[in-house]
Amino acid sequence: MASTGDDDARRGRRVEAAFRVRYRSVDDLIVALTHDLSRGGLFMRTERYLPINAIVRVHLELPDGGGEMPVICRVAFVRADAEAAASGKPAGMGVEFLDLGPERLARLERFVAEHAMGAGGAAPRRALDVLVADDDETVRGPVVRALRERGDKVREVTDGLAALAGCLKQAPDVVLSDVQMPRMDGWQLVRMLRARPSLARVPIVLFTTLTDDDSRLQGYRLGVDDFVGKPVREDELLLRVDRVVARTQHDPVRERRSLRGDLEHVTLASVLSFLALEQKTGVLLVAGPASARVHLRGGHPVRVELDDTPVAGIADPALHALLGWTRGQFEFATQDVACPDDLGTTVNALLLEHARRSDERSR
């Protein structure tokens, strides 16, 4: 039903409908958190459809009496009955979260951590071997303490050269490093680690104040797995460490991926511009409110698929909704692309058209 409230008034948004998503078990929540919630959205099976970009409130009802979490969302795509029947997929709507920030996401992950044992007797969390490199004690000290307090083994060094030596002596589960350090900076350390087969798969998280897309894209290109902004928030750091370690352990084809990262750090437009400039051929996978694949040949976009369904062309609203995603992960895999050119355009022309449409909507 339509609803309004104080929170919505503060945001200046008119909520057009409210929905409830109930997770019946902790295991159900774990699957949803991994595949949907942490990527910035979810798919709701419903016979009640709203227009693209409609604002809705979704109440996430946690299992085991965990209460509920209301989240303001935007409708990103609709799969009505006819399309659902043709594709064999359920009917419903995909929504993008507008206010499920890191703190609220951390609350969900803490809830899972606290209840997972009772749900199925899961094995205790394995202590990690973490190497922390930072010459600033005010940054390094709290990070080291937070990791040790939860049982991780931590080795701390004050420059990149000592970090490289520590990794060569014994490969850690993850490296946390500053960018600006004496003797060898963070960028050089990343290059050195990625150049050695025995260390090429070690996850790397950089502490940084970098905010521009070009710098972060350069980091992803070199092989950085994630960034944590300064000042470092300990709860966010621990979650990101666990996430990159788990992602690496379940990624047997990591070496094929020449670029991967998070849309919280760089825009999809910047990623596509970089791939066009480099004249890359391969597939860019984007996991956000839905699953998207952008096929590029020589830097030109030739096909875009959303949930395995090709977009109709450069004017397709679903394509421009994709370009507006601000949450989710991306990874580019170099491979042959033999599909026909469905779009007949360039990345620059596509982004200009998206900018024009965005300007029209804002007016």
Q: What's the predicted TM-score (pTM) here?
A: 0.48
Contacts of range 107-111, beta carbons closer than 8 Å, 24 or more positions apart: 107/69, 108/29, 108/33, 108/37, 108/60, 108/62, 108/69, 109/33, 109/38, 109/239, 111/29, 111/62, 111/66
**134-251, what's its fold?**
Rossmann fold (3.40.50)
Q: How confident is the model at residue 359 (pLDDT cuts 50, 70, 90)?
A: confident
| pLDDT score of 248 | 72
Beta-strand (E) ranges in the chain? 17-22, 41-45, 55-61, 68-79, 92-97, 129-133, 153-157, 174-178, 204-208, 226-229, 257-262, 282-287, 291-297, 300-306, 309-310, 329-334
Q: Would you place residue 211 in the very low, low, confident or very high pLDDT band (cuts 50, 70, 90)?
A: low
- Residue 252: pLDDT band by 50, 70, 90 thresholds? very low
Residue 212: pLDDT band (50, 70, 90) is low
Among 63-77, 103-117, 144-158, the range with the most confident prediction by mean pLDDT is 144-158
The pLDDT, as a whole number, for residue 315 is: 87
% of the chain beyond a pLDDT of 70 = 88
What pLDDT does 210 receive? 64
Output the pLDDT for position 220.
Answer: 77
Number of Cβ within 10 Å of residue 297's Cβ equals 17
Q: Is 231 helix (H, G, I), strand (E, B) or coil?
A: coil
Average pLDDT over residues 233-258: 71
pLDDT mean over 207-217? 72
Task: Return d(Cα 293, Cα 289) in angstroms, integer.
Answer: 13
Looking at the predicted structure, is the pLDDT value of residue 119 above 60?
no
Q: Provide the pLDDT confidence category of residue 167 given band limits of 50, 70 and 90.
A: very high
pLDDT at 36 over 70: yes
Residue 63 in this model has a pLDDT that exceeds 90? no
Q: pLDDT class for 122, splitting at 50, 70, 90?
A: very low
End-to-end Cα distance, the chain: 29
Please determine, for residue 251, whether its predicted confidence score (pLDDT) is greater than 80: no
The SS3 assignment for 280 reads coil
Going from N- to C-terminal start, the domains of the chain cover 6-120, 134-251, 268-362
CA 173 to chain centre: 21
Closest by Cα among 263, 277, 262, 283 to 348 = 277
Rg (CA), the chain: 22
Asked if pLDDT for residue 330 goes beyond 50, the answer is yes
Looking at residue 237, what is its pLDDT? 87
**Assigned CATH class of 6-120:** mainly beta
Tell me which of 5-9, 262-266, 297-301 is least confident.
Answer: 5-9
Amino acid 117: pLDDT: 55
Lowest mean pLDDT among 95-99, 123-127, 290-294: 123-127
**Cβ neighbours, 10 Å, residue 283:** 19
Mean predicted confidence (pLDDT) in 31-38: 79
pLDDT band for position 118 (50/70/90)? low
So what's the pLDDT on residue 125? 65
The answer to whether the beta carbons of residues 2 and 40 sit under 8 Å apart is no
Percent of the chain at pLDDT > 90 equals 20
Q: Which residues contact 182 (CB under 8 A, 6 or more apart)?
A: 135, 158, 159
Average pLDDT over residues 43-66: 86
pLDDT in tens, 255-277: 444 577 778 778 888 889 888 88
